[in-house]
A and B are shown apart, each in its own frame.
Chain A
Amino acid sequence: MGVNIHEYQGKALFREEGVAVQEGVHCTTVDQALEAYDSLGSKVVAVKSQIHAGGRGKGYLYCPDTGDLQMEGGVKIALSRDEVETYSKNILGNILVTKQSGPEGKMVNNLYIEAGCEIAHEYYLALLVDREEDAILVMASTEGGVDIEEVAETTPQAIHKAWTDPSGKLPTGADSAMADSLGLTGVSKESFIEMLGRLVSMFVSRDCSMVEINPLVRTGDGAMIALDSKISFDDNASFRHPWRAEMRDMSEEEEVEIRANKSGLSYVKLDGNIGCLVNGAGLAMASMDVIKLYGGEPANFLDIGGGANKESITTAFGIILEDSNVEGILVNIFGGIIRCDMVARSIIDASREVGLSVPLVVRFSGTNHEEGREVLEESSLEVTTVGTLADGAQAIVAATVGVGA
């Protein structure tokens, strides 16, 4: 899983690492934005919405109360103090919907006011983990500032690639070759090579999973400047980067998913009506797939993990039932380390505690599945027990058809 940060936080890291960026100020109010404009002393500034999703420039801002369109474009170039005020008002406290934000969009609570610069050309630069090559991949293109995915599809040769060795170093000359393929010369080439070196070492020392700069610009005097920053970190390495904790923006994360994580659960809400409680991510996805194949719609992904116990299973039931769309629950447990009889007892306790009122279908397989089934059948709980995944999906789809309709 990746840990995302905002552009303004990414730029602060760039500054620390010596990667060239424009001056800018992080703001949370319109007044701060105006102060920032005054302090930057730049006639032209960019007013940039800060959310954890790309495509901000081409996004749409909506009022959270009325749903009315406030403004087109979540990144605006302001040529005056008045424009800074207008744009800031239209951005802060509104919902920004972009290609990457999902249709529900994201509330913008943070703004970045950045000094403008004279742009001679826009490039694209990204570093990320290449799982097929077991290396860090650097990608660069002269086609920056545009829809790079389209570039990748239509003219893949316009994207230049280089890979690091296992220790995270680019082969000798790879940086210079990449600069050449971007057509950079003189100070621009030198500036690019220096920036790339700093980015690669930052990627390694800070355990990033992705760093994307779109656009990376060449200014009129040949300098290379990162006008954007999208950074994700590898969460598995968070233990050695305690500084990350203060960069976390909880408002960008789903509250219920954070709560689930605290109990060792992995939960993602979906739009269907059949709740799922499964052990293992692959089996959880497969269970959702089968529900769909039998005509149902999963309400969630939920992996209870290998260390599940009565408390976490109770939490899991509670989280599933918080979703008012849920009209039935399928439990699919393949016992390995987890014993099905333990899960059965937890289900009984949890259903009492949370007041289970929707149909429940339980499929047990693996360790102590017979005991688990007996525990459920001997209880007063209304539950359908089945032996296979297909039977389970069929039973829960049948039990929820017409419910609530």
Chain B
Amino acid sequence: MSIWINESSKVLVQGITGGQGTFHATRMAEYGTDVVGGVTPGKGGQVVDLPGRSVPVYDTMGQAISETDADVSVIYVPARFAAAAIVEAADAFNEIKGEGLIVCITEGIPTLDMIRCVGHISEMPGIRLIGPNCPGIITPGENGGCKVGIMPGYIHAKGRIGIISKSGTLTYEAVAQTMGVGEGQTTCIGIGGDPISGTGFIDCLAAFEEDPDTEAVVMIGEIGGTAEEEAAAWAADNFSKPIIGFVAGATAPPGKRMGHAGAIISGGKGTADEKFSAFEKAGIHIARDPSKIGEVLVSVLVEAGLRES
């Protein structure tokens, strides 16, 4: 099992005819992702050649979903068009299937565009957005798996650890460390670090709680905001599996600020220390040294009776 995507997920690529879109659609198909088509307005009717298959290009998400019965869409369109692409995907999935997963890789989307976008999607209970500005989501399989994003697929393997991270390459580091101690992953999700985004830590934890194959979770946060603190408080009451947590940025200097508003918004200042304390208070096993995430994971699994040594 896994969360949100699996080997039978059918995936569309928005922006498939662009450089990034074609490149990553190719890598995704190589990994084993069932890429069923793509969308680029004005290029409907074209065909894109991917490893082992040629897939159709549609003008709109509505056509693409109707024709392919896709479950997932991944967005590689430029920042200024990305929010519109998310809304188009959400409307189409909602109307045609009542559900769908949208993964937005694009970075640099204006914050107010994302506020409108996230507000729009919040009215649609069946629609989930991951990102933007994230590496995506991957569920490793027995043979290949389902990779929706830009992460290097081969560093992953099927296993029992769920991984959630705000960061890109630091997510890969966490994956590498679980692999280094002989543990694979159920699903790894990069939720992105933008001020406004879709799926958060708590959504991921709630899904991992329900997933019988996920036995422990590695959660990687970053300084800024209070999402880590809120997730920790939620997990203390609602999450039954072990969590290993790290927060990047303990040595980052406090940024030069222009006003007071950011600091007083929620009481907390979003420092690494505050987040680590919130983790500890919630019973999350912390790795202050990110190069020790693997070691901490092993000791936690042993302690929980999930591993011999």
Contacts and interface: CB of A to CB of B under 8 A. Distances in A.
Contacts of B150: 306, 336-337
A291 B289 CA distance: 10
B22 to A, nearest CB: 13
B180 to A, nearest CB: 8
A199 B59 CA distance: 39
B110 A234 contact: yes
A290 B290 contact: yes
A56 B249 CA distance: 28
Contacts of A280: 167-170
A291 B227 CA distance: 26
B163 to A, nearest CB: 13
Contacts of A242: none
Given A236-B79, A282-B220, A270 B253 contact: yes
B166 A210 contact: no
A136 interface: yes
B110 A102 contact: no
B115 interface: yes
Contact of A156 (B152, B195, B267, B290): B267
A298 interface: yes
B291 A388 contact: yes
Interface of B: 79-80, 108-116, 118-120, 122, 135, 150-152, 155, 165-173, 176, 180, 193, 195-196, 220, 222-223, 225-227, 230, 246, 248-253, 256-267, 272, 288-292
Interface of chain A: mostly helix, strand, loop or mixed:
mixed
Contact of B151 (A153, A270, A336, A365): A336
A253 to B, nearest CB: 11
A120 interface: no
Nearest to A164: B115
Contact of A132 (B226, B249, B256): B226
Given A210-B259, A336-B152, A282 B119 contact: no
Interface stretch (A111-119, A122-130, A395-403): A122-130
A52 B255 CA distance: 13
A71 interface: no
A290 B267 contact: no
A282 B256 CA distance: 19
Nearest to A209: B111
A52 B118 contact: no
Nearest to A269: B253
Contact of A366 (B113, B119, B172): B172
29 contacts: A54-B258, A100-B257, A102-B256, A128-B262, A128-B265, A129-B112, A134-B115, A139-B264, A149-B264, A152-B267, A166-B122, A167-B119, A204-B112, A209-B111, A210-B259, A234-B112, A236-B111, A279-B169, A280-B167, A283-B167, A283-B169, A286-B290, A289-B272, A289-B289, A289-B290, A292-B251, A306-B150, A365-B173, A366-B172
A336 B291 contact: no
A281 B193 contact: yes
Interface in A135-185: 135-137, 139, 147-149, 151-153, 156, 159, 165-168
Contact of A282 (B167, B226, B250): B167
A282 B170 contact: yes
Contact of B115 (A129, A334, A365): A129
B150 to A, nearest CB: 6
B61 to A, nearest CB: 20
A132 B116 CA distance: 14
B248 A4 contact: no
